[in-house]
Amino acid sequence: MANGGHGSQEALARTTESIPRVPSGPRPRQPSISAVLPAYNEEALIRATADATADVLARLTDDYEVVVVDDGSRDRTRDAVEALRTENPRIRCVAHPVNRGYGEALKTGFCAATKELIFLTDGDKQFDVGELAYFVPEIERADVVIGFRRPRRDPWLRLVYGWGWHFVVTLLFGHTARDVDCAFKLFRREIWERVRVHSGGATFSAEFLIRARRCGYRIVELPVSHYPRIAGRPTGANPRVVLRAIRDILWLRFHLDRCPK
Ligand SMILES: Nc1nc2c(ncn2[C@@H]2O[C@H](COP(=O)(O)OP(=O)(O)O)[C@@H](O)[C@H]2O)c(=O)[nH]1
Ligand SMILES: [Mg+2]
């Protein structure tokens, strides 16, 4: 995992350069969009991610906001976002005083979102936000549009954890999605108001999709590009995160039968 140097600079530039993939030309309808970016100790990447997200949203709609959820970071993540806000007031930071977990951060971000559509992506710049341009038209025929990483560009151990997780979720709940945890999702905000998610950790994404399916929402899946993390430290495979995820998915299996929605 690189933490600076030429490789990082090139990768940052590469993913930023891909933004013009947003199609130009007349735009039929422009739903307003809130982007929600969870961030935990992402001072090296959050500025570039939030900036790129704002650039893309500005090309897709006149009415957007970027909500970064700083989940009790111990670095200068929040300062980085506040600095960005002085340049673009549509970017704002909602902060937890202490770390509460991925799902809790998303709950905070989704509740803070004010626009018609919510776009979720991670704050670590592993996605090409420009590909959101392919998602927005799909929302006309779906309630939730989710990405699947093709291919997923993470270290091999993280991939093994990912496959294991996919297996467990499918075993317990049947087919849920090709890539349950892909942090590239677009959905109507009203769905968040109707689907109650219990998990505050890494199970959040699976639970959200499982409940959305049970509520009968239409889900469309699209391929998305994925890039290796170029700075900062991933936490998705930490034992504490994994144990919490297992506890939450078993809780869900037990409680979903009693309270289907
Ligand atoms: N809010 C919040 N975000 C987190 C936490 N852990 C990781 N993240 C963020 O969630 C995203 C994905 O985390 P990452 O560690 O890269 O996991 P991975 O990509 O699944 O290996 C990144 O934007 C992180 O900053 C957490 O405890 N709270
Ligand atoms: Mg990541």
- Tell me: pLDDT of 153 over 50: yes
| Confidence class for position 83, pLDDT limits 50, 70, 90 | very high
| Confidence class for position 8, pLDDT limits 50, 70, 90 | low
Q: Report how far residue 138's alpha carbon sits from residue 157's, in angstroms, rounded to the nearest whole number.
A: 33
Closest ligand to the CA of 127: 2
Q: Whose CA is nearest to atom 9 of ligand 1?
A: 39
Q: What is the rounded radius of gyration, in angstroms, for the C-alpha atoms of the chain?
A: 17
Q: Report how far residue 227's alpha carbon sits from residue 149's, in angstroms, rounded to the nearest whole number.
A: 9
* Structural domain spans, the chain: 5-16+30-158+182-197+218-232
Q: Report how far residue 182's alpha carbon sits from residue 122's, in angstroms, rounded to the nearest whole number.
A: 9
User: What's the 123 CA to ligand 1 centre distance in angstroms?
Assistant: 8
Q: Which residues line ligand 1 (CB under 6 A)?
A: 38-40, 42, 69, 71, 99, 101-102, 105, 122-124, 154, 158, 234-236
- Tell me: pLDDT of 27 over 70: no
- Contact between 46 and 80 under an 8 Å Cβ cutoff? The reply is yes
Q: Residue 42 CA: which ligand 1 atom is closest?
A: 25
Please give the class, per CATH, of domain 5-16+30-158+182-197+218-232: alpha beta
Question: Exposure of 218 by Cβ count < 10 A (0-12 exposed, 13-18 middle, 19+ buried)?
Answer: exposed
| Confidence class for position 76, pLDDT limits 50, 70, 90 | very high
| Confidence class for position 237, pLDDT limits 50, 70, 90 | confident
Q: Whose CA is nearest to atom 20 of ligand 1?
A: 236
User: What's the 26 CA to ligand 2 centre distance in angstroms?
Assistant: 34
Question: Three-state SS across 33-74?
Answer: EEEEEEECCCCCCHHHHHHHHHHHHHHHCCCEEEEEEEECCC
Task: Please choose, from the candidates 31, 19, 195, the residue with its C-alpha nearest in 3D space to the C-alpha of residue 118.
Answer: 31
Q: Residue 71 CA: which ligand 1 atom is closest?
A: 1
pTM here is: 0.90
Q: Report how far residue 175's alpha carbon sits from residue 172's, in angstroms, rounded to the nearest whole number.
A: 9
Q: Whose CA is nearest to atom 18 of ligand 1?
A: 236
Q: Residue 158 CA: which ligand 1 atom is closest?
A: 21
| Confidence class for position 164, pLDDT limits 50, 70, 90 | very high
Long-range Cβ pairs for the range 131-134 (8 Å, 24+): 131/21, 131/184, 131/222, 131/224, 131/225, 132/22, 132/56, 132/57, 132/60, 132/184, 132/186, 133/21, 133/22, 133/23, 133/56, 133/59, 133/60, 134/222
Closest ligand to the CA of 126: 2
